[in-house]
Structure 1
């Protein structure tokens, strides 16, 4: 398939990665039932202000609340998306539960990709450093370089990862931390590769949504769609329906 979007991966691979991410979005939304959605009580007074002050339609507001609740899962999906994308670059492959996220097929590079720089606690950081060090030592003949890649990093960098974690100093001659832009540049050998991806995504996603790639009758049946249906039957607004579901036992709220 031609490279009309990016020249470091095929159009087919890019659209496949988008399709996989879309399925993950839909599945996660559909996995949230009403009890899960209401688990921490929906602040419908705040949502009322959000709706009125920001001019947001109630349906859009509730969809946004659902996305907020599943934000952690979505961040994980975005990290997987970057793994999928880079796994399609010639000379690289995705780990697929092998202990690394991406590696060079000649074993000269191994990486763990995090979507955000601040998603690890000290124990996770210690474990990751040890894992990367083990790969560097295991493939010393290949002079393997091992990376903690941070897609959303505070700065643009590619440097040795030296850190004090839980009171212990860690360093290795071939263990690095690297920002998302520089990691994309390293893998693709194109300095602006991540920017190129950013620029083509809107059109690629739109094309995906209008092609047979996503015609798998993927329907969204999340808690929110169920609530919307209840509101239509009862004649309540969506916010009133959620308020009744969450606070029907409060004085006066049963009259909604």
Structure 2
């Protein structure tokens, strides 16, 4: 039976990958409380500049910051989505915390996947190169790849260069763009384009197949902060600063 969406993974697998990503969206959006919002220290210095320079009132500013935190969480899940899609191609599998993101079943290919080209520090790049080189050394027939799903150009090149002052090169360690990697695993040059063009269809079919739910709760962080400011008489930004940095010299007097 012919697939409805793409021909390099099954329709069932494609739908499952979309379902997993949808669940990640729901989890990220589900009731950002004040405690969740504070889980990473809030940069109220930057928020002060944002409010004044962009002429945004404090409540809208905090709402935008909450949405930014949600978006950051979702970006991590997008990389997982690509891993799961690629792991559904015949002959390949995902790593499941085995030190690689994707590998060939016959150990002739190992890959580390990054969603965007600029998400690695020099320290992380060095660690990834060393890890891929070890996979190549331990598997003499394996080519190993750093995959940049959203790269600045289309390429498949040997990874060589100076990282943190050290020169790195290996005959079977490569950097590759997302389109080239999809083509490599699927055997189809336009596999990434097919994925893109069919995403709206798959998502629509998935959403039509599930029951609509009210499981996503409204974000309560703003309301919690408003209650605090009514008592403290602080501005919202001052309240956030006090609750995050009251242990700094003089900040307990805000």
TM-score bracket, normalised by the shorter chain, equals 0.7 to 0.9
Structure 2: 5+ residue runs without aligned partners? Answer: 239-254
1:63/1:4 CA distance change after superposition, 3 Å: farther
Q: Is the 8 A contact 2:32 2:221 kept in 1?
A: no
Of the three residues 175, 197, 202, the one matched with 2:173 is 175
Q: CA deviation at 1:216?
A: 8.7
Tell me how far 1:67 sits from its aligned partner.
Answer: 3.1
8 Å CA contact 1:156, 1:179 repeated in 2: yes
Instruction: Kindly tell me the number of residue pairs found equivalent between the two proteins.
Output: 230
- Corresponding residue SS for 2:26: helix
Runs of at least 4 residues of structure 1 off by over 6 A? none
Match of 1:197 in 2: 195
**Structure 1 residues 207 and 144, CA, compared in 2 at 3 Å: closer, same or farther?**
same
How far the C-alpha of 1:208 sits from its partner, in A, is 0.9
Contact 1:148 1:176 in 2 (8 A): yes
Pick which of 62-71 and 109-118 moved more: 62-71
Match of 2:147 in 1: 149
Q: Is the 8 A contact 2:37 2:221 kept in 1?
A: no
TM-score (normalised: structure 1): 0.77
Structure 1 residue 113 displacement after superposition: 0.3
Q: Which piece of structure 1 moves more, 26-35 or 7-16?
A: 26-35
CA distance in 1, matches of 2:134, 2:214: 42
Structure 2 partner of 1:235 = none
Say if 1:29 and 1:66, in contact at 8 Å, map to a contact too: no
User: How far did 1:63 drift?
Assistant: 6.9
- Specify the alignment match of 1:220 in structure 2: 216
- Per-residue CA deviations over 1:219-245 (Å, capped at 9, x if unaligned) read 1125x2x368x59xxxxxxxx969968
User: Structure 1 residues 250 and 88 mapped into 2: Cα distance closer, same or farther (>3 Å)?
Assistant: closer
TM-score normalised over the length of structure 2:
0.78
Contact 1:92 1:102 in 2 (8 A): yes
Alignment partners' CA distance in 2, 1:193 and 1:69: 31
Matches of 2:193 and 2:64 in 1, distance apart?
27
Inter-CA distance 250–132: structure 2 relative to 1 (3 Å threshold) = closer
